[in-house]
Amino acid sequence: MAKGTLVQKIIAAHLVSGDPAKDAQLRIRIDQTLTQDATGTMAYLELEAMKTPHVATELSVSYVDHNMMQNGPENRNDHLYLQTVAAEKGVIFSPPGNGICHQLHLERFGRPGKTLIGSDSHTPTGGGIGMLAIGAGGLDVALAMAGQPFTIPTPKVVGVKLTGRLRPWVAAKDVILKLLSILTTKGNVGSIVEYFGPGVADLSVPQRATITNMGAELGVTTSVFPSDGRTREFLRRQGREQDFAPFGADADAEYDRVVEIDLDALEPLAACPSSPDNIKPVRELAGIKVGQVLVGSCTNGGYRDLAMLAMALKGRRIHPDVTFGIAPGSRPVLEMLCANGMLGDLVAAGARILEVGCGPCIGQGQSPADGTVTVRTFNRNFAGRSGTKGDQSYLVSPETALAAALTGEFTDPRTLDIPFPAVAEPERYTSDDAHFQQPVPGRGIIRKPTIGEPPMNTALPENIDGVVVIKVGDKITTDHIMPAGVHLKLRSNIPAYSKVVFECFTEPGKPSFAERAARVRDAGKHGVIVGRDSYGQGSSREHAAICPMYLGIKVVAALAIERIHRANLVNFGIVPLIFRDPADYDSIAEGDSLAFAGLPGQLVEGGEVRGTLQKADGTQREIVFTHPLSAADIVLVKAGGRLNC
C-alpha cells in the first residue's frame, strides 16, 4: 500500500489482521459507528439478533433524519424503536429535528485519526475532519457495534494535490464536481482519495466535508483530508479543541496515482441529469429555465452555505417562477441563523424553510413539476430520485443555486451583479448537546407491529437451477433496485418493501420483478439478476440485497459490482459473480436459464465458476465467471449469509 500516506498511518494504527503489502483485504478496528433511521432499524434488529447486550465501540450514535414525513404511523414507530433500543444498547440517540447524521457527526463527534463506519454511504463526510470514515451496510455496522473488526479492500491511495485558492463564487462543491469529471463514478472501487498540497489550507473543515461527502459518488472506499491548523480551529469553534490531534502524510508520501486540481483555475460546475459525473461548466448551461432550487443535504446544509445565501439575498427577492426550499443540515445551524437574523432574511427573500433533515434529497417531498428543471445542492441526481419520473435534476454549489434562484435560469454566479458574500466562520458554533439522548437502560424496547424481523436465508443449495429474472444495464444504483421516496417508510417491513424491487423497470400491465421472482421461486427454481458495469452504485441500503434475497434471488452476475453492495450481497447469502468475458453479458436475455451445478464446491478463493446458459430455443453453452469472494466471504455465502453463522 502507498507509503507515508495519511491513509496508511490510520490503517496501521487500527490494523487487526492482514498485511497491506500482500493481502487483498484488511481487517481494521472501528472506534465509532453511526446509523440513520432508514437503515438503522434493520441494523439494530440485527444487533438484537446477535444477542449483543451493549455496544463495544468508543462511541455509537443513532440519528433520525431520513424518515420524517410521518404520513402514517410507520416513521414514528421506527423512531420509538430506535430511541428505546439505543437506550438499552448504550447508543447515543439523536431525535428527529436534530439534524442530518453526517452534519451533526462532523460538528459534535468527529475526531481526527479515528475510524468510523456508518450505515449510510455518505459517512466519508467525516474525512473532512481527518477521520477514516466509511459507509457500510447495516449488518456490518451492527457487527462493528458488537466489537467486530471491519473488512476493507487493501486500498490504492489516489492523492489529490490541491494548489491555489478558490476564487469568489467558486465553491468546495466545484472541487468535488471537478474530481468527478476526472475520475467518474466508475472504476474506483477499492481506492481511497487523500487530499494534500498547499491548497488544502485554503479550505475550512466544512468545505473539506462537502468534498469528502460527495466523494461517495466516486465509488471509492472513502476520502480523507489531513488534520491541521484549520481542523484545530474548527474544533475550537465547536468548543472541543481537546479532540484535536494533528495527522498528515509524510512529505515524501508515495501515492498510487496523483491528480492535481488548481483551485485558482476552477469555475462553477454542475452535474447534469442523471449522474453525478455528468459534469458541465455552468456557463454552458446559462439560460436554461429553472423551476425549483433546493439548498441543503449533508453536502451543503452547513452554516457557511446558508449564511452565504442569507447575506446575498438580504433585501432581494427570488425569481417568481422559482420555488426555493432550504433544509438546514442541523439544529445548531438553524439556531444560529435564527439568532443572527439571517433566517428572517431568507424568509423575506421568498425561501420556503423545510424541516432540518434529509427531506427532498431522498424524495421526501418537494418533487418538481413534470418537464421542469430542478437545481439542487445535493449529491445525487439519479433518475427519479426526486419523486418525479423523467426528472431533470442538476447538482450545483450553493453559489450557483443562489444565481438560479435570483434569475430563474442557469446563471454563472460570477456574472451576478452583487458583491460576493464572504462568510466568516462563527467565533463559536452553537452546540446544544442536551438534544442528544444519552443511553439509560431499563425502560424496555418499544417495537410496534410495523417493524418486522430481519428475514433469514437458507444455505446455498448444491445446484442452482437459475432463471434470469431481470437483465439491466450499466450503473444500476441501489435507488433503482430499492426505490426510496414514497416507499421509504417500508424500510422496517421487508415483505411489503420487497414488492417494489426494481419498480422503475416495471412496464405498465406487465408483471413486476417481485411477481416474476415469486413465479421462479414457486416453480422450485432460483432467481438470478444480471447487471452490467458498476452494479449497485450509490446508497448503502442493504435492502437492495435483503429484499431480492427475500424474493429468492441466489446469484447476481455483472461486469463489476460496487463495494458496499457486494458486501451486502455476501452478508445476505447472494453470490456475486463477475463475467470473465464481458461479451457473455450480451448473449443473455431475461427468462434464460442459468444453472450452476455444485456451486458451493465451485466457490474457491481466486477461482472461477462455470454455469450453463440455456436459451429459450434449447441451445446451451458454458459461461465462465470469476468472483471477488475471500475465504471468509465464501463461508458466509455458503451458509446463506451472516445471520446463519
Minimum Å distance from CB 139 to ligand MIC?
A: 14
Smallest gap from Cβ 626 to ligand MIC, in A, equals 27
Number of residues that bind ligand MIC (CB under 6 A): 14
Q: How far is the CB of 63 from ligand SF4 (least distance, A)?
A: 9
Q: Which is nearer to ligand MIC, 43 or 143 (CB)?
A: 43
Cell of 94: 439523536
Task: Choose among ligand SF4, ligand MIC, none what residue 297 binds, the Cβ cut-off being 5 to 8 Å by kind.
Answer: ligand SF4
Least distance in angstroms from the C-beta of 506 to ligand SF4: 24
Residue 65 touches ligand MIC, criterion: CB under 6 A: no
Quick check: 37 binds ligand SF4 (CB under 6 A)?
A: no
- Provide the grid cell at 54: 451493549
| CA-to-CA dists, residue 289 to 285, 388, 403, 406, 625, angstroms | 10, 18, 12, 12, 48
Binds ligand MIC (CB under 6 A): choice among 2, 6, 10, 38: 38
Q: In what helix (H) or strand (E) does residue 327 lie, and over which residues does it extend?
A: strand 323-327
Any idea of the CA torsion for 246, 250, 254, 256, to the nearest 10 degrees? Answer: 0
81, 103, 88, 129: which is closest to 34 by C-alpha?
Answer: 103
On the CB side of 79, CA atoms within 13 Å amount to 18
Whose Cβ is closer to ligand MIC: residue 126's or residue 611's? 126
Shortest distance, CB of residue 300 to ligand SF4, whole angstroms?
Answer: 10
> Helix (H, G, I), strand (E, B), or coil: what is residue 542?
coil
* Cross-strand partners of 281: 269
**Rounded-to-integer distance, Cα 380 and Cα 401, Å:** 15
Q: Which does 363 bind (CB under 5 to 8 A by kind): ligand MIC, ligand SF4, none?
A: none
Member of 111, 156, 178, 541 binding ligand MIC (CB under 6 A) = 541
Binding pattern for the stretch 441-480 against ligand MIC, x by CB under 6 A and - elsewhere: ----------------------------------------
Q: Does 560 bind ligand SF4 (CB under 6 A)?
A: no
The minimum distance between CB 363 and ligand SF4, in angstroms, equals: 9
Considering CB distances under 5 to 8 angstroms, the limit depending on partner class, which of ligand SF4, ligand MIC, none binds residue 100?
A: ligand SF4
The position carrying cell 512529505 is 251
Q: For residue 89, give every residue at least 6 positions away whose Cβ sits within 8 Å of its Cβ, in sequence order, or none.
A: 44, 47, 52, 53, 54, 55, 60, 145, 439
Binding of residue 136 to ligand SF4 (CB under 6 A): no
Amino acid at 136: A
CA–CA distance, 539 with 564 (Å, rounded to integer):
8
Contact call for residue 122 and ligand SF4 (CB under 6 A): yes
DSSP track, 89-155: HT-EEE-TTSB-HHHHIIIII--TT-EEEESSTTGGGGGGGT-EEEE--HHHHHHHHTT--EEEEPP
Whichever of 66 and 108 has its CB closer to ligand MIC, that residue is: 66
Which span sits near ligand SF4 by CB under 6 A: 74-82, 357-365, 396-404, 416-424?
Answer: 357-365
Write out the binding residues for ligand SF4, residues 363-422 only, by CB under 6 A: 378-379
- Site for ligand SF4 contains 358 (CB under 6 A): yes
Nearest 10 degrees: Cα torsion 635, 638, 640, 641: 20
User: Which residue among 292, 397, 534, 540 contacts ligand MIC (CB under 6 A)?
Assistant: 540
220 near ligand MIC, rule: CB under 6 A: no
Check binding of 361 to ligand SF4 (CB under 6 A).
Answer: yes
Phi-psi region of 513 (alpha: psi -120 to 50; beta: other; left: phi over 0): alpha
User: Whole-angstrom Cα distance, residue 63 to residue 116?
Assistant: 14
* CA-to-CA dists, residue 415 to 165, 269, 377, 407, angstroms: 19, 14, 19, 11
CA 145 to chain centre: 19
Residue 362 contacts ligand MIC per CB under 6 A = yes
Least separation in angstroms between CB 380 and ligand SF4: 6
Minimal distance in Å, beta carbon 626 to ligand SF4? Answer: 32
Site for ligand MIC contains 67 (CB under 6 A):
no
Is the CB of 460 or the CB of 564 nearer to ligand SF4?
Answer: 564
C-alpha span between 489 and 73 (Å, rounded): 9
Given the rule CB under 6 A, which of 1-9, 74-82, 85-93, 539-547 is the region that contacts ligand MIC?
A: 539-547
The correct pick among 1, 43, 100, 464 for binding ligand SF4 (CB under 6 A) is 100
Instruction: Work out whether 297 is an interface residue with ligand SF4 (CB under 6 A).
Output: yes
Could you give the CA distance from residue 289 to residue 12 in angstroms, rounded to a whole number? 51
The Cβ of residue 131 has, within 10 Å, a number of other Cβ atoms equal to 30
Cis? peptide before 397, omega within 30° of 0:
no
Grid cell at residue 133: 470514515
Shorter beta-carbon distance to ligand SF4: residue 104 or 263: 104
Assess 564 for contact with ligand SF4 (CB under 6 A).
no
Active centre residues (catalytic): 65-66, 120, 380, 539, 541
Smallest gap, in angstroms, from Cβ of residue 287 to ligand SF4? 29
Q: Is 212 in the site for ligand MIC (CB under 6 A)?
A: no
Distance in Å, CB of 131 to ligand MIC, minimum: 17
Q: Which of 539, 561, 579, 625 binds ligand MIC (CB under 6 A)?
A: 539
| 121 near ligand MIC, rule: CB under 6 A | yes
Considering CB distances under 5 to 8 angstroms, the limit depending on partner class, which of ligand MIC, ligand SF4, none binds residue 480? Answer: none
Comparing CB distances to ligand MIC, the nearer of 86 and 482 is 482
Alpha-carbon distance of 39 to 100, in angstroms, equals: 14
Select from 86-94, 358-366, 562-570, 616-624 the region that touches ligand SF4 (CB under 6 A): 358-366
Please say whether the beta carbons of 40 and 164 come within 8 A.
Answer: no
Pairing between β-strand 269-271 and β-strand 279-281 as defined by DSSP bridges = antiparallel
Rounded to whole angstroms, what are the CA distances from 539 to 83, 348, 379, 562?
A: 24, 36, 11, 11
120 touches ligand MIC (CB under 6 A):
yes
Binding site for ligand MIC (CB under 6 A): 38-39, 66, 120-122, 135, 362, 380, 484, 538-541
Binding site for ligand SF4 (CB under 6 A): 66, 100, 120, 122, 297-298, 358, 361-362, 378-379
